[in-house]
Structure 1
Amino acid sequence: MGERIEGHGGHLALAALRAFGVREMFTLSGGHVFPLYDAAHNSDGAVRLVDVRHEQSAVFAAEAVAKLQRRPSVAVLTAGPGVTNGISGLTSAYFNGAPVVVLGGRAPQFRWGAGSLQEIDHVPLVAPVTKHAVTVTSTDDVYGAVHGAALTALTAHRGPVFLDLPLDVIFSYGDAAPTETTTPPVLAPDPDEVARAATLLAAAQRPVIIAGSDVYSGDATAALREAAEALHVPVFTNGMGRGSLPAGHALAFAKARRAALRGADVVAVVGTPLDFRLNFGDFGDAQVIHVVDAPTQRAGHVTPAVSPAGDLRLILSALADLPAGTALNRGDHVDWVDQLRQVEDAAKQAEQADLAADTDPIKPARIYGELRRVLEPDAITIGDGGDFVSYAGRYLEPTQPGTWLDPGPYGCLGTGMGYALGARVTYPDRQICVLMGDGAAGFSLMDVESLVRQRLPVVIVVGNNGIWGLEKHPMQAMYGYDVAADLQPGLRYDEVVRALGGAGETVAKPGDLGPALRRAFDAGVPYLVNVLTDPADAYPRSSNLA
């Protein structure tokens, strides 16, 4: 153990976080949390202070860092409305399994109940959407409380934590003994359950693996590839699992998922919930294997044939090893893989016309056809929207893991600018591209000013169809009319960005898209390409959202 750590509550909190590799603090200025700013300011550049225009962006930025870097990240929110403004971000992190540490300011203890500014008990508000939420009542306890919370956030199943720091606690001075443990415990799976899963997959005639975000957050992408190759099973991915198998891999699929799930006799879902994105785990007559990183993630609404729980690297590596010592014949899957490859190739060929469509107004698919030409393999692509981002999921295929950020199953709009902040802080030299519907733009576009002021260039592509497309088209189909689903058509979101110190342009013709995107990525400032798209174009949604 090292020497005791001394200082005010801000120093103690930051010392605990730095042990986990925290190098940034996202916030919106508030007097209740000044000591945390003081600690960052006096860290000799070790911790960068990044401030935003709305607290939700601070938490979304911390979520992006936590997901991309697979470590705790911190958002600091002042008392009262600062914390309540951040609850959507906390909830998103909760659904996405992101190890975000939120430190909240709080009215002083010694005057609690007398009506101090922004006095409210935050803990009951945030407890349902965090792994751990407490008020720290002693300055000497700050270091241990923050350290323990960060370790909890990082322990599978990962998720956000919240600590309330009363004004008199964080401004006071204390000390603490440092704690060396920053590695969460590894949960070993039941070997019998893993063996059953391997037997089902290897013996199946038409098996499928679907891998999700926890495969990336659990650093299990290499193990996934080993398991898929050992069992010779086709792999589909969602969330941050996208790109887990390299582009062109014989077992990597994206376009044939419907055919695969209709024809499969065994479906192994790894590191993602059996939610609306996967038809709630209903795959017809197929047996379901649900591989999760913690027992709490097992589905309660279905009963899988087997559900191994534990460290995903251990489970997937065991799946790769077991068939080698058995008489199971993975060669039985060859015809199945070939069949799906034919479907995949036909679907890719069929979409080429959409990607190159020369229509007026512009179809969203054409935007993605142009983006595919300019996005680099390690670009971070961020989705913030409804139908426009659904098209991104269909037409953009990440070639590397950890390069795709979307709101996840909670579906919260407004993540875009916060995710962009976190992504740019993480990767100063990569392309950062935000794909945003014009509805989503209304939630966070003001934080372009935060990007400009702190010299964080990103490219923002707005699919501007002047409607809430995810609601307008279904409502018309259900009722024959729609209400509360229109936005003002043709709004110049690029002019908003220019007014905030960035740059941009509006594109109305397909042939102008490519040059505009190249200008955006070359600009070196936040740049918005405002693309006027066809409001009659409805995403062909087939999933049951409820």
Structure 2
Amino acid sequence: MKTRRVSGSEAFTEALRLEGVEVIYGIVGSAFMDPLDIFARAGIRFVQVRHEQSAALMAEGYGRAKGVPGLCIGQNGPGVTNLVTGLASARLNHTPVVVITPAVPSTLMGTGAFQEIDQIDMLRSVTVHQVSVKRGERIGEAIRTAFRAALALGGPAQVDIARDFFYDEWDEPELKPFQYRTDGRRGGAPAEEIERAVTLLAQAKSPVILAGLGVVRSGATGKVEELAQMLGAPVATIFQHNDAFPMNHPLGLGPIGYQGSKAAMNVVARADTILALGTRLNAFGLNTQYEIDFFPQDARLIQNSHDPLEIGAQKPIAAGLLGDCAAVTEQLIAALKERPVSPDLAAVKAMVAKEKQAWEAELEAMSAIDAETMHPRRALLEIARALPQNATTVLDIGNVCGTAAAYLRPERPGDYLGAGSLGGIGVSYPTAIGAKMARPQEPVCVIIGDGAWSMTLQEVMTAVTEKVNIVAILMNNGVYGAERRNQYDFFNERYFWTELDNPSFSDLARDMGAVARRIADPAEIAPALAEAFATEAPVVLELMVDGKALSEPYRRDALRHPKRHLPLYQN
């Protein structure tokens, strides 16, 4: 095999170029300045963020939106410690990310050198694979291994490189991605498990399909639709994955879980057989909601996941289907053609339509509120009506943002990026910047609360510098809403450290170079959004909503009414 002479920086950059890397997020640092010098010649865009936490979050947003690994890098020591939140989010969201962690010189490792920490040990719990480069000539191999791992394992893969290795020289061959990895997709489930599942489905009187992240990632939505038609099975989506199946489909019910669709939860509660596709069935998303304990305890559960550790972990199963969601769904379709069932599809669709109509009427009634201070539900109703059909929406965590689940009905897989299982506050704006850079021709917006906004608003400057025309919908209610609601329910309305004394965020955004507008009238939301999505610059729409109007707490089982025994703390 033909080789060529390279330096460490060239081997590093070439490995990225041959993988087709377009963007890498970080802040300039001396530890990787040598390769950074040649990124532009390789066609790699370096996006300088204002905080490395945002670099990892942007890489995660890019990876979630594009389906290829997003890349981030940090200066050794403090730059790397700042990446942890974004990497943890990517790991729990199964997002492919490659994180580069330049280290102190190899000759100083273990001496307590300036900015030295054990970067491998620190990131072990937030990565799916780690490579520590021990010799400069292994840099290219390490990068290739990281891409293989990020795609195959679905999460962040770390490459740790002593900074002096970028100056080493050696001869190495040029390898294209097809020579060292696949796309990471797995095959289907064992034939006997498919047979067991099909037997259960054929016997079902009221089957329901739950569609999760695996449906989106494997491109299985169309196949799930075909399977649902064959079974006469309504389809609900898993919490935070509204885009796994369209609610406007005659069998689509919308999301279960926090502030989801009552239609979905009522139908799921009556199921005798549940087919859970592409999901680990996160226990948080199965919590009682609207006083509906919707996951039926006696239903037979057929669960599909790509991870064997997830199957049966949350609920007892009648059959487990380990494998790629799309491949497994195809297997079920093929097997059912050999053993056809005859559902009354018209009756099922009529039942679904009736449930959805009832829920739509209830949601409309609780949202069409004219008040002196804008009700957050009214704001969400107007936002949902005004969003472009092909918009990608990124959600932060929080009371108002969580309530948005009931209103947003994405029609395409990948258009709804929830806060994810980490539930980090403030993560959504950088994530949305990454998603917009992955989908530059499509509208991307983020719905975020004022507490969350305070944590990463500095990245408006990054969006302005990089000309990322993202639309931020900032719900300013002057409180940490989720915690405020907990204090209402569990602390006898004693409010402590949940009020926010905010500046004018729209003025701040304008000072950073964005287009900004403060809105207090719900009638202004639709025209403001239309104008925002037509604007080439980043836009911040600051919606002033009522901080006293809060939805249910995220979970009533997480807190208790306090008991105080010592006189000092009573009353």
Return the TM-score normalized by structure 2. 0.89
Q: SS of 1:291's equivalent? A: strand
Q: Does 1:313 align with 2:323?
A: no
Residue 518 of structure 1, CA deviation = 2.8
Q: Does 1:278 align with 2:286?
A: yes
TM alignment of 1:34-45, pairs within 5 A: 34-43=33-42
Is residue 277–residue 304 contact of structure 2 (8 Å, CA) maintained in 1? Answer: yes
Aligned partners of 2:312, 2:41: CA distance in 1, in Å? 46
5+ residue gaps, structure 2, are: 255-260, 289-293, 559-571
Q: Percent identity?
A: 29
Q: Does 1:97 align with 2:94?
A: yes
Give the equivalent residue in structure 1 for 2:147: 150
Select the residue among 468, 473, 488 that pairs with 2:480.
Answer: 468
Aligned partners of 1:482, 1:144: CA distance in 2, in Å? 57
TM alignment of 1:54-69, pairs within 5 A: 54-69=51-66
Aligned partners of 1:306, 1:334: CA distance in 2, in Å? 28
Give the equivalent residue in structure 2 for 1:202: 202
Give the equivalent residue in structure 1 for 2:267: 260
Residue 338 of structure 1, CA deviation = 3.1
5+ residue gaps, structure 1, are: none
Aligned partners of 1:268, 1:541: CA distance in 2, in Å? 29
Aligned partners of 1:110, 1:542: CA distance in 2, in Å? 50
Residue 315 of structure 1, CA deviation = 0.2
Taking structure 1 as reference, are residues 170 and 222 closer, same or farther at Cα in structure 2, changes over 3 Å only?
Answer: farther
Q: SS of 1:339's equivalent? A: helix
Deviates more, 1:56-65 or 1:15-24: 15-24
Taking structure 1 as reference, are residues 5 and 265 closer, same or farther at Cα in structure 2, changes over 3 Å only?
Answer: farther
Select the residue among 274, 279, 302 that pairs with 2:315.
Answer: 302
Is residue 101–residue 161 contact of structure 2 (8 Å, CA) maintained in 1? Answer: yes
Give the equivalent residue in structure 2 for 1:339: 351
Deviates more, 1:405-414 or 1:351-360: 351-360
Taking structure 1 as reference, are residues 542 and 103 closer, same or farther at Cα in structure 2, changes over 3 Å only?
Answer: closer
Select the residue among 395, 412, 427 that pairs with 2:439.
Answer: 427
Is residue 193–residue 321 contact of structure 2 (8 Å, CA) maintained in 1? Answer: yes
Q: SS of 1:418's equivalent? A: helix
Aligned partners of 2:4, 2:493: CA distance in 1, in Å? 64
Residue 309 of structure 1, CA deviation = 0.7
Residue 336 of structure 1, CA deviation = 4.5
Q: SS of 2:57's equivalent? A: helix
Aligned partners of 1:247, 1:185: CA distance in 2, in Å? 27
Taking structure 1 as reference, are residues 61 and 5 closer, same or farther at Cα in structure 2, changes over 3 Å only?
Answer: farther
Aligned partners of 1:317, 1:544: CA distance in 2, in Å? 39
Is residue 384–residue 408 contact of structure 2 (8 Å, CA) maintained in 1? Answer: yes
Is residue 213–residue 244 contact of structure 2 (8 Å, CA) maintained in 1? Answer: no
Aligned partners of 1:194, 1:215: CA distance in 2, in Å? 17
Give the equivalent residue in structure 2 for 1:391: 403
Is residue 401–residue 447 contact of structure 2 (8 Å, CA) maintained in 1? Answer: yes
Residue 269 of structure 1, CA deviation = 1.7
Taking structure 1 as reference, are residues 176 and 282 closer, same or farther at Cα in structure 2, changes over 3 Å only?
Answer: farther
Give the equivalent residue in structure 2 for 1:438: 450
Residue 332 of structure 1, CA deviation = 5.2
Select the residue among 500, 504, 509 that pairs with 2:512.
Answer: 500
Q: SS of 1:396's equivalent? A: coil
TM alignment of 1:484-499, pairs within 5 A: 484-488=496-500, 491-499=503-511
Residue 245 of structure 1, CA deviation = 3.5
Q: SS of 2:188's equivalent? A: coil
Aligned partners of 2:191, 2:496: CA distance in 1, in Å? 54
Aligned partners of 1:160, 1:287: CA distance in 2, in Å? 35
Is residue 187–residue 323 contact of structure 2 (8 Å, CA) maintained in 1? Answer: yes
Q: Does 1:159 align with 2:155?
A: yes
RMSD over aligned Cα atoms: 2.2
Aligned partners of 1:78, 1:261: CA distance in 2, in Å? 49
Q: Match of 1:252, as an amino acid?
A: G
Aligned partners of 2:557, 2:474: CA distance in 1, in Å? 24
Q: SS of 1:153's equivalent? A: helix
Select the residue among 525, 531, 550 that pairs with 1:538.
Answer: 550
Give the equivalent residue in structure 2 for 1:182: 181
Deviation digits for residues 214-239 of structure 1, max 9, x if unmatched?
A: 22122322322222222221111236
Q: Match of 1:411, as an amino acid?
A: G
Q: Match of 1:148, as an amino acid?
A: T
Aligned partners of 1:545, 1:41: CA distance in 2, in Å? 52
Q: SS of 1:176's equivalent? A: strand
TM alignment of 1:10-29, pairs within 5 A: 10-29=9-28
Aligned partners of 1:223, 1:96: CA distance in 2, in Å? 23
Is residue 20–residue 182 contact of structure 1 (8 Å, CA) maintained in 2? Answer: no
Q: Match of 2:327, as an amino acid?
A: L
Is residue 49–residue 55 contact of structure 2 (8 Å, CA) maintained in 1? Answer: yes
TM alignment of 1:195-234, pairs within 5 A: 195-234=195-234
Aligned partners of 1:24, 1:5: CA distance in 2, in Å? 25
Q: Match of 1:206, as an amino acid?
A: S
Q: Does 1:87 align with 2:53?
A: no
Q: Match of 2:40, as an amino acid?
A: H
Residue 252 of structure 1, CA deviation = 1.2
Is residue 208–residue 233 contact of structure 1 (8 Å, CA) maintained in 2? Answer: yes
Residue 54 of structure 1, CA deviation = 0.8
Aligned partners of 2:490, 2:434: CA distance in 1, in Å? 39
Aligned partners of 1:89, 1:189: CA distance in 2, in Å? 32
Give the equivalent residue in structure 1 for 2:337: 324
Deviates more, 1:14-23 or 1:403-412: 14-23
Residue 243 of structure 1, CA deviation = 3.1
Aligned partners of 1:510, 1:273: CA distance in 2, in Å? 38
Give the equivalent residue in structure 1 for 2:562: none
